[in-house]
Amino acid sequence: MAVSSVNLLAMRIFISCIGLVGNIFLILSIIQTKFSRIKTFELFLLGLATANLEEIVIVNIYDIIILLQPPSTTTGTWSCRSLKFLTVLGESTSILFTVLISIFRYQKLRGANKRVNLPIYLDSIRSAWMVSGVSVMISMLLCVPIFFINVQGSMENITRNSGDCTPDFFQCSKDYCPILNYSYKYLFTVVCIMLPLIIVTVTSCLIITVLLSQRKTVAPVASISGSSQFGKKRKGPWLQRSTISVLAALGLFQVDWTLYLIFQLSFSSTDFPIWAEIEFFISTSYTSISPYVYGIGNNMLSLKNLIKK
């Protein structure tokens, strides 16, 4: 059991380090550009990487200070709730910025041939800042109930020590669950996980549909016009590595949060001793891997840029 706990801790540290490096380099790559010249997609990536970084840092602080403390140690309710608030804030903000990225990329691809160089609504950096701010505000509002819900769970089946601060704030006693806990659990699950997951899945399917339709439209022209036209086709936005990286990251997002929903709705933390570890690996795998997928696909984490930094 001790060996297993050590291996889990080592894996958590390894994944966290990968996430820290990836998100830090992505942020540095973006902020090298003057804010007067920053584009909407870069702004969304900056928000995503910042939220990812905040979540990874806080969740590890939460584990070190709260979950690994001696059994006799007690943690103040305010400190406990503040750390959990910051953890969930980073998690939900990361999810909402992923939604913005998926919607923005679909809008850029939809009707690109007819629109040519005409901008879309989110191309305006002012609009991009506005929707980014709204996303952060929504995340904060969704996390505020953490300071008011009644954290009183039966901990006899949880093997990890958490003192007086439970790793699962949706947890409540088997015999009695306050209506606020129950309501908040399903409100947060629906608004911050299930709804974004549906939006990302739909937009991913629409992006693939647009790519296929554009490819069918251009293919006959390429066969008639010869290799020069074919070369132009390959450089079109539907074949850019950026779009492929976005689809790959969105696919990772869908897999991770679908698994999270299955475990969240099927099991209880009181009946599932390693729920905290499963939750960590599911949520952190996206926050740790996605910056590499986005960054490499958009030439932000190229070897040349890494050497410069």
Instruction: Name the β-bridge partners of 172.
Output: 152
Residues 6 or more apart whose CB falls under 8 angstroms from that of 143 comprise 85, 88, 89, 92
pLDDT recorded at residue 231: 45
Domain ranges of the chain: 2-308
CATH number, span 2-308: 1.20.1070.10
Predicted TM-score of the model (pTM): 0.83
pLDDT at position 133 is 95
Side-chain-side CA neighbours of residue 2 (13 Å): 0
7-27 as b/e, with b when 16 or more CB fall inside 10 Å? ebeeebeebbebbbebbebbb
CA dihedral 150, 153, 159, 161 (to 10 degrees): 40
Average pLDDT per consecutive 10 residues, the chain (309 residues; last block may be shorter): 64 88 91 77 94 90 66 62 87 95 90 70 88 94 84 44 56 68 84 94 93 69 48 49 89 92 76 72 88 85 58
pLDDT of residue 257: 92
pLDDT for the residue 66: 61
